[in-house]
Amino acid sequence: MLVLGIESSCDETGLALYCSQRGLLAHNIYSQVKLHKDFGGVVPELASRDHARKLLPLLEQLFAEADVARGDLEGIAYTAGPGLMGALLVGASFAKSLAWSLDIPAIGVHHMEGHLLAPMLESNPPAFPFVALLVSGGHTQLVAVEGVGRYQTLGESVDDAAGEAFDKTAKLLDLDYPGGPNLAALAETGDAVKFRFPRPMTDRPGLDFSFSGLKTFARNLIAAERGTAPLPSRPVMADIAAGFELAVAETLAIKCRRALVQTGMRRLVIAGGVSANKTLREVLSTALAKVDGELFYARQEFCTDNGAMIAYAGWRRLAAASFDVAANNHLDLAVEVRPRWPLDELPSIQESA
Ligand code: KG4
Ligand code: ZN
């Protein structure tokens, strides 16, 4: 089965072709970073318009790269939520119209399920069951995963998501949007133990997180260190960035280990933008080695938003669905998206071996 995947939930337009026999055939991505940079964050209306502008040229480029014709497509997967309403609607309308014109099924994919399954695109995919740590700009969640759609949330952030904490702290350090990768780059030159940030909520039982206090800690530290200047010196800012990053990584690692012990599972999958963070990967590998755990993650470009994860998750669901083309029940023309969509609400699927 050949499936086209379309991601447009936020500020990246991502497309990919996934073939059940040959794997990932091609993928491309257009990032709107430059468009939103001057505003210090994503402007939803600009994002929607840019998705509308880029989808068709990216699709043509994708077909050319994979040497595939649109008539070869057997299904289309698009991100149906969570995300920005307008941006989601652009992708959904595009996907549904194309599917209708080709008389093939279209399926709405949960963005976080896409992230969660992305490590399966790698050469050493994780087997079920596993614990997933989903860490993106909008989500921080620990999930027990028994299979596709068989998710149980074990814990989540009670305030900021990990990526959001990175972005907000980066702003305090006067770094450009997107803050996470820029803060991580600055942290590389810093001393992570010069300033000791707290490890929030690790001194009490449970698997929930809280990251908003780290941002406040950073704000106070910056105020204390800058003297009469607008900001501390670059080396001190690097130390603050490194201390913050290590605190996030160690806090996540403590909870991940706890989740493995609690569930009796030994595989940990990390997914979402923050899983691209090198310090987090290192801290987690060390923590997991102590409990004989195994760590899985996607290649860097598939940690952040991309079309490949949507094509893959869509394929898993399309392959398990039964569509009766003659009865024409394979294409529901209603364009529905869910800006908010709890992962636990997804139906599980019956997969043939
Ligand atoms: O999954 P993603 O691309 O989009 C959402 O679904 O939100 O995640 C984006 C988030 C942003 O907050 C970004 O700053 C963060 O992931 N991020 C990182 C890194 N790369 C992306 N945070 C820390 N270190 C990175 N290397
Ligand atoms: Zn994402």
pLDDT one-digit tens code per residue, 292-312: 999 999 999 999 999 999 999
From the list 214, 209, 78, the residue with the least C-alpha distance to 153 is 209
Amino acid at 55: L
Within-domain flag for 159:
yes
Q: Measured from the CA of 167, which atom of ligand 1 is nearest?
A: 14
Which CATH number belongs to the domain containing residue 321 in this structure? 3.30.420.40
CB 20 within 8 A of CB 316: no
Instruction: Round to whole Å and give the CA distance between 164 and 136.
Output: 8
Please tell me the predicted confidence (pLDDT) of residue 188. Answer: 98
In the chain, % of residues over pLDDT 70:
97
Look up the domain containing 134 and give its range.
127-297
How many structural domains compose the chain?
Answer: 2
DSSP class of residue 226? Answer: S
179 lines ligand 1 (CB under 6 A): yes
pLDDT one-digit tens code per residue, 2-53: 999 999 999 999 999 999 999 999 999 999 999 999 999 999 999 999 999 9
Shared-domain flag, residues 178 and 245: yes
Shared-domain flag, residues 290 and 307: no
Please tell me the predicted confidence (pLDDT) of residue 332. Answer: 79
pTM across the whole model: 0.96
Q: What pLDDT band is residue 59 in, cutting at 50, 70 and 90?
A: very high
309 lines ligand 1 (CB under 6 A): no
DSSP class of residue 120? Answer: G
126 lines ligand 1 (CB under 6 A): no
At residue 149, the 3 state secondary structure works out as coil
Shared-domain flag, residues 270 and 135: yes
> Quick check: bond before 82 cis, omega within 30?
yes
